[in-house]
Structure 1
Amino acid sequence: MTTAPYFVVADSARDPDADIWFVEPAGFTALPLDSLLAPPGSAAADELRTAFAPFLDVAPNEAIRQQFVAQLAAGRQLLGALCEVGTVHCSIGLHRDDVDDTSSGGGQPLLSLFTLSWRDTTVAARAVTAARAVTGAEEHTRIEYAELPCGPATFSETLRTPGADMGLPQMPLLQIHAHLPHPDCKRLVVLTLSTTTVARRQQYRAILQQIAETVSFDHPLEPDTGEAR
């Protein structure tokens, strides 16, 4: 039996200042960047502190409580750095590894990070901008050009390992990118799906392509006012 897909329309879809729309598959939870990065003393910062209070209250001891606060601060620092380079949306992905339960994954939960970022570009045709996004790009592999409903796009992958001096686990990080030029021909949006589960490259690439295919630069909720033809 086939059932129709189920969609939840976020409030941001009705934002009059929005200039891009997209759909995330099940398993992704958007991070409230405005709240997480709110300046101290603001109403949003107070709301964030209130939201985290229950977690701090149930901490078994002060050491655990301070560890939680330190991890939250590190996460905020990372999100702040992403926003400084044009990131406007982040989501945490949590999925069960059900490709092969007998494999090393064993049905364990898999984590990923989805980001949407804007990049300014020189004025050019959209197909040219899509090609330039990966032409000469260091370490980009598995490059593919596609025509999506929103226009031309290029897909690529990078595989990096954090430096030993960064204090991060020495695990390869797979990043799958989609480069979609805006119709104004002056900028493009970069969708990136990051995960340390390199063995599931094919599945994560399919997820990112699914998201990219839903991208629209025209408001999808506005009624069609054109005459039927």
Structure 2
Amino acid sequence: MTEPIQLTATAATQPIPPMTFVVPAGFHALPVDSSGTERAAAMAEFVRGVYPGGDDVLWQSTAPFYELVTEAMASAGLAYSAFGIFALGTDGVAHCSLSVAAYTSDHNDPDTAAQGILAVLASDATNDARWLDLPCGPSVASITVRELTLSPEVTTNGKQTTLHTGQIQVHIPFPEGLHTAVFTLDTASIDHWDEFCNMMTAILQTVSFSVSADEPAADRQISDISV
């Protein structure tokens, strides 16, 4: 695990109270909280982390693309956005994206807020909505697997291809009200779905609304959301 990530971003016009979490090594965070010359320097570091075996030509050519992606993520209100890239030996890599955002939710009790979220998500038959009792409080997970059809124009073999993608989204009401955090993990590496489910579980174990948590992240336990 890496060092805890602390978020103090803003949802709409209201500041989000401090929240921390830890992600495993292999995640490369887009600098969504930077701007101007600061973002340019952060982007240069980002592309070197994503392509450690590259050179100046590769890094300089890919940085503008990721800068546009970062601007889009920041404009969408994401407080954290990262790509996870994990080597599979000689079989390539498995990849995913992880984002964290927060929306305004005028609740006084996180348990009541989570019950309302569960009712809404469970009403959609395409969602596998589940209640989770996290160390940081009650939350609701929504798990979906979708099938996409790619046209021959965008495939490497020129043939129509079916692609399966999976998403785990977890809504966590802040204990003091006003906001709900949303953790979203997406992946098209569906052959490694179980591993990504376990990874999301490990990340959720570390979520804390106290900057100085009393107990080590490694000691926290939650119900497994693997499918």
Q: Is TM > 0.5 for Structure 1 vs Structure 2?
A: yes
- What is the CA deviation profile of residues 43-78 of structure 1, one whole-angstrom value per residue up to 9, with x for unaligned ones? 32553587679x78536xxxx97xx35xx4443333
| Change over 3 Å in CA distance of 1:50–1:191 after alignment to 2 | closer
**Sequence identity (%):** 20
Label 1:186 to 1:162 Cα distance change in 2 as closer, same or farther (>3 A): farther
Moved more, 197-206 or 129-138: 129-138
Residue number in structure 1 paired with 2:180 = 188
Which residue matches 1:3?
A: none
Alignment match of 1:113 (pick from 84, 87, 97):
97
Equivalent of 1:127 in 74, 87, 111: 111
2:129 is equivalent to residue 143 of structure 1: yes
Q: How many residues align?
A: 193
Q: State how 1:46-57 maps to structure 2 within 5 Å.
A: 47=41, 57=56
Q: TM-score, normalised by structure 1?
A: 0.67
CA shift in 2, pair 1:94/1:44, >3 Å: same
Residue of structure 2 equivalent to 1:156 = 142
Rounded Cα–Cα distance in structure 2 between residues aligned with 1:168 and 1:134: 37
Contact 1:90 1:113 in 2 (8 A): yes
- Asked if 2 retains the 8 angstrom alpha-carbon contact of 1:176 and 1:193, the reply is yes
Q: Quickly say closer, same or farther: Cα 1:222–1:207, change in 2 above 3 A.
A: closer
On the 8 A contact 2:43/2:66 being kept in 1, the answer is no
How far apart are the structure 1 equivalents of 2:206 and 2:184?
15
Q: Which whole-Å CA distance do the structure 2 matches of 1:57 and 1:147 have between them?
A: 47
Contact 1:139 1:158 (C-alpha < 8 Å) held by counterparts:
no
Task: Tell me if the contact between 2:148 and 2:163 (Cα under 8 Å) persists in the aligned partners.
Answer: yes
Partner of 1:178: 170
Unaligned runs of 5+ in 2: 9-15, 49-53, 156-161, 216-227
After TM superposition, the score normalised by the length of structure 2 is 0.67
Equivalent residues of 2:7, 2:79 under 8 A apart: no
**Deviations 1:80-126 (CA, angstroms, capped at 9, x unpaired):** 3332333111122122348xxxxxxx743101111111111132421
Opposite residue 130 of structure 1, the aligned amino acid is A
Consecutive unaligned residues of structure 1, counting only runs of 5 or more, are 1-6, 99-105, 224-229
The separation in 2 between residues aligned to 1:129 and 1:83, in whole angstroms, is 26
**Equivalent residue for 2:21?**
22
SS in 1 for 2:210: coil
Describe how 1:54-133 pairs up with structure 2 within 5 A: 57-58=56-57, 68=61, 72-97=63-88, 107-133=91-117
SS of structure 2 residue aligned to 1:205: helix
Structure 2 CA distance for partners of 1:75 and 1:199, relative to 1, 3 Å: same
Rg larger for:
1
